[in-house]
Structure 1
Amino acid sequence: MSPPFATPRARALGFGMKKARLARKLGVRELARLAQLSPQEISNWEHGKRVPRPEEVATILAVLRVAPDERARLFDLVRHANEPDWLAAATFVEYERTASAMVQWAPSLVPGLLQTPAYIRALFATTPRAKADIEERVMRRLARREVLSSRHALPFRAVLGEAVLHLNIGGREVMAEQLRHVLAVSRARNVSVRVLPEGCGHHPGLYGPFVIFDFADLPPIVYLELYRGNGYLYHREHVADYRSAAESLSALALSESESERLIQGVLAELEA
């Protein structure tokens, strides 16, 4: 049996190798010449389409003079690259950047791509992080929003639990600003925001938030957000189950226009 194709670890390995190459300001062909490897192979590895042998990774990392900690992380990825599922903190931002479509179920918090700076700061307010660290995280999260408005804007479909609208994250002013932003972004042609009203009974969304990433030339990946760490699922049956869950949630959710009216109603109460 052939090994799994473009597993989460293989893609994370590719992201890491590409990041190291770009840090040295080398093109693929130049790296291939220095490492005496095929440019096409290096390209396939960076895209997660193929998995290099440990000795090939060692050659590339030596040429790129990668730091010991990062080298150890990448070697761990290559050793387990053919395992289909993964519970670890992988490169979520790279999945957003390279996806051809994204579907998200957000039962309690506004999705990261829709968050305002004040809302993000409120999420970190109860953590022991230093102010400078929080501001860096705010800037990184805001930079992610460019995928929704770039030339090749990401098709983004979000279903929000009604609780998202009512949780007092940061106070009335912060929540009002946040809901105004959600309404504004939801009017973009590539963005769909719908609300799942409370009182729907049992549904698959009760088991937690998730994201489905689709890619133009790679298999889809499901992202699971956990309190400590993140999970990535790749197995075909698991992805199919989550896609079915997403469709069930969409069937229960309000339409886009009904969702907009509900959000406007909550916003009016906050602004009163």
Structure 2
Amino acid sequence: MPTRRTVTGRSREPRARFAEELRVLRTGRGQSLRQLGDRLGWDWSLFGKMEKGETVGGPEVVEALDQHYGTPGLLLALWELAVSDQTQFRERYRRFMTLESEATSLWHFAVSVLPGLLQTPDYAREVLSAGGIKEPELTQQVEARMGRRCLLEGDMAPDFRTILSEAALRTPMRDAAKWRQQLEYLLEVSDRPNVTVQVLPQSAGLHGLMGADVWYLLLPEGRTVAYTENGYRGELIEEAGPVVRLQKTYDAVRDLALSPVESRKFIMRMLEEVTCDPST
């Protein structure tokens, strides 16, 4: 019987800890994912997604894994922490969206994905689907994301600046026609007086915002809050000290980015490349 490990709570990312424990237990048994699926009667791909952190599964499958590995209650406890962490992520995100709707100015940096405010429905669907979201929640989230785009429309729309890592523009959609539509929409929105789009070229090298997407919101009362997000969680930062430090980092990255005019030319060249590609 495997040695039961101590559940250390939040000493690590709960979802990552849960996924790691699943991998360690399976490889310790010398089992493949297919063998595990055959043994427990679930599709092996489910266990693969759980070990990658793409899903946490349900309590039934986790209880079966606890029984299979002889770890009564351990995996279920880790699963509960992972599920709780997801809930907290959603709560933090809801608060961020509330503040976003009130902001008078927004600044953003994108590591690898275009910001939701500038996404087409097809792009949003592909991104959310790649993150493991299934129907009917997938369609609901796409519609919700499209609804947020109205934030940048109208006479009262806030100023919005986004710095796009070149990687975000070099990661196309599977469908070339849909990718062209996304680039065209990006150019269309960047032409609005309240929207500024800059591109951070790969040649800029290493910088201080490589780890996560970052949002800065200037609120009506004059204070600024920040929100950082990676593939597993988001963090709303409201303390003045950390926000100021993040703003200084953002300013340094902005100094490395192309000007808005050069950025627009960069995106237009990318659009031409996609349009002229004979394979599309």
Instruction: Provide the TM-score with structure 2 as the length reference.
Output: 0.63
Amino acid at match of 1:234: E
Residues in 2 aligned to 1:167 and 1:235: alpha-carbon distance in whole angstroms: 34
Does residue 222 of structure 2 align to residue 211 of structure 1?
A: no
SS of the residue corresponding to residue 202 of structure 2 reads: coil
Amino acid at match of 2:205: G
What is residue 105 of structure 1 aligned with on the other side?
A: 109
Sequence identity, in percent?
27
Does residue 123 of structure 2 align to residue 116 of structure 1?
A: no
Does residue 154 of structure 2 align to residue 150 of structure 1?
A: yes
What is residue 243 of structure 2 aligned with on the other side?
A: 239
CA offsets 1:125-155 (integer angstroms, 9 cap, x no match): 3355433321111111011011101331111
What is residue 193 of structure 2 aligned with on the other side?
A: 189
CA offsets 1:100-133 (integer angstroms, 9 cap, x no match): 1100000211011000000011112335543332
What is residue 163 of structure 2 aligned with on the other side?
A: 159
8 Å Cα contact 1:210-1:224 kept in structure 2: yes
Q: 1:202 aligns with which of 195, 203, 206?
A: 206
Residues 125-134 or 135-144, more deviating: 125-134
Residues in 2 aligned to 1:159 and 1:125: alpha-carbon distance in whole angstroms: 24
Residues in 2 aligned to 1:161 and 1:180: alpha-carbon distance in whole angstroms: 18
8 Å Cα contact 2:204-2:257 kept in structure 1: no
Residues in 1 aligned to 2:241 and 2:182: alpha-carbon distance in whole angstroms: 36
How far off its partner does 1:93 sit?
Answer: 1.9
CA RMSD of aligned residues (A): 2.0
CA offsets 1:161-195 (integer angstroms, 9 cap, x no match): 01111102333222211111010000100000000
How far off its partner does 1:95 sit?
Answer: 1.8
Residues in 2 aligned to 1:271 and 1:202: alpha-carbon distance in whole angstroms: 31
Residues 253-262 or 166-175, more deviating: 166-175
8 Å Cα contact 2:111-2:211 kept in structure 1: no
Q: 2:100 aligns with which of 96, 99, 108?
A: 96
8 Å Cα contact 2:211-2:230 kept in structure 1: no
8 Å Cα contact 1:196-1:253 kept in structure 2: yes
Amino acid at match of 2:264: E
SS of the residue corresponding to residue 207 of structure 1 reads: coil
Amino acid at match of 1:253: A
Residues in 1 aligned to 2:147 and 2:211: alpha-carbon distance in whole angstroms: 29
Amino acid at match of 1:242: L
Amino acid at match of 2:106: M
What is residue 70 of structure 1 aligned with on the other side?
A: none
How far off its partner does 1:201 sit?
Answer: 1.9
How far off its partner does 1:90 sit?
Answer: 3.9
Amino acid at match of 2:194: N
Unaligned runs of 5+ in 2: 1-83
CA offsets 1:218-238 (integer angstroms, 9 cap, x no match): 521110102222101111111
Count of equivalent residues: 188
Kindly name which structure, 1 or 2, has the bigger radius of gyration based on alpha carbons: 2
How far off its partner does 1:248 sit?
Answer: 0.8
Moved over 6 A (4+): none
What is residue 8 of structure 1 aligned with on the other side?
A: none
CA offsets 1:214-259 (integer angstroms, 9 cap, x no match): 1111521110102222101111111111111111111111011100
Alpha-carbon spacing, 1:138–1:243, altered in 2? closer, same or farther (3 Å): same
**1 or 2 for the larger relative contact order (CA 8 Å, sep ≥6)?**
1
Amino acid at match of 2:96: F
What is residue 175 of structure 1 aligned with on the other side?
A: 179
Residues in 1 aligned to 2:254 and 2:164: alpha-carbon distance in whole angstroms: 10
Unaligned runs of 5+ in 1: 1-72, 78-86
Amino acid at match of 1:220: T
